[in-house]
Amino acid sequence: MKLIFANRNYSSWSLRAWLVLRHFNIPFDEDLVMLSGEGWREAIRRKSPSGKVPVLVDGDVVVPETIAIIEYLNDKYPAKGIWPSSRVERALARAAAAEMHGGFTALRNAAPMNLRASHPGKVDPDEVAADLKRIERLWGDLLSRSGGPYLFGSFTAADAMFAPVAARIRTYGLPVTDVAAEYVEAIYALPAFQDWLAEAIKEPWVVEDDEIDVLIARKAAARQA
């Protein structure tokens, strides 16, 4: 089994699938592709049917898209507990994951994942306030129900889906409730997340489209045009 993924520092969707594989001790090989440089899009298209990452390759089976990868792994390894065992908790976990997959675009656009950076104050809190409010409510309700430290007690795919959100909150010093801040710390304490983070920090590549200073400069130039 092999996971094709992109730069650890920036690729939030890659992180989600990788965390599931690593945390649940599923053996896999890694195939890292770049998100910048000459011909990088074509290089990804040669390996990914969707032209995006991550992609899971298991023999003749090629699975693009993070949620599809997670479901494939859950079906192949049902004893791993990738989703909660309870039918109700599993439904809530999948609902949370689906909301993450399809929502929070203001936060995604304003605060790109950048694990090795620290940019407190560089994202306008008003621009992401609605998304943060919903995230705080969602996390708070699930943590209150489970008792933590993760959304359903122990780490599941739902937490993998929200790990990049935790990273954004820390990178940009976004204002959140104490409950949300404690959950961010729980994500960072996860050994699998620490493994990914250690490698992300060492990466030399810079993707300008995901650097907040570049985005701020572009916005300023657009206002002056």
Assign 36 a pLDDT band (cuts: 50, 70, 90).
Answer: confident
**Residue 7 predicted with pLDDT over 90:** yes
| Average pLDDT of the residues in 133-162 | 98
Q: What is the pLDDT of residue 124?
A: 95
- Enumerate the CATH 1.20.1050.10 domain ranges in the chain, comma separated: 87-196
Q: What is the pLDDT of residue 85?
A: 95
In CATH terms, the fold of domain 2-80 is Glutaredoxin (3.40.30)
Q: What is the pLDDT of residue 37?
A: 86
**Residue 81 predicted with pLDDT over 80:** yes
CA dist 204 and 34 (Å) reads 11
| Average pLDDT of the residues in 126-133 | 98
Q: Helix and strand tally (H, E) in the chain?
A: 10, 4
3-class DSSP state for residue 5? strand
Q: What is the pLDDT of residue 11?
A: 97
| Average pLDDT of the residues in 76-85 | 98
Q: What is the pLDDT of residue 224?
A: 85
CATH class for the region spanning 87-196:
mainly alpha
| Average pLDDT of the residues in 133-151 | 98
Burial 77-98 (b: 16+ CB within 10 A, else e): eeeeebbbeeeebbebbbebbe
Q: Are strands 2-6 and 55-58 parallel, antiparallel or unpaired?
A: antiparallel
| C-alpha angle 79-180-11 in degrees, rounded to nearest 5 | 65
In DSSP notation, 106-170 reads HHHHHS---TT---TT-S-HHHHHHHHHHHHHHHHHHHHHH-SSBTBBB--HHHHHHHHHHHHHH
Closest by Cα among 23, 6, 12 to 195: 23
pLDDT in tens, 169-225: 999 999 999 999 999 999 999 999 999 999 999 999 999 999 999 999 998 898 887
Q: What is the pLDDT of residue 39?
A: 87
CA dist 7 and 76 (Å) reads 27
- Enumerate the CATH 3.40.30.10 domain ranges in the chain, comma separated: 2-80
CA dist 149 and 135 (Å) reads 16
CA dist 136 and 106 (Å) reads 15
CA dist 105 and 171 (Å) reads 17
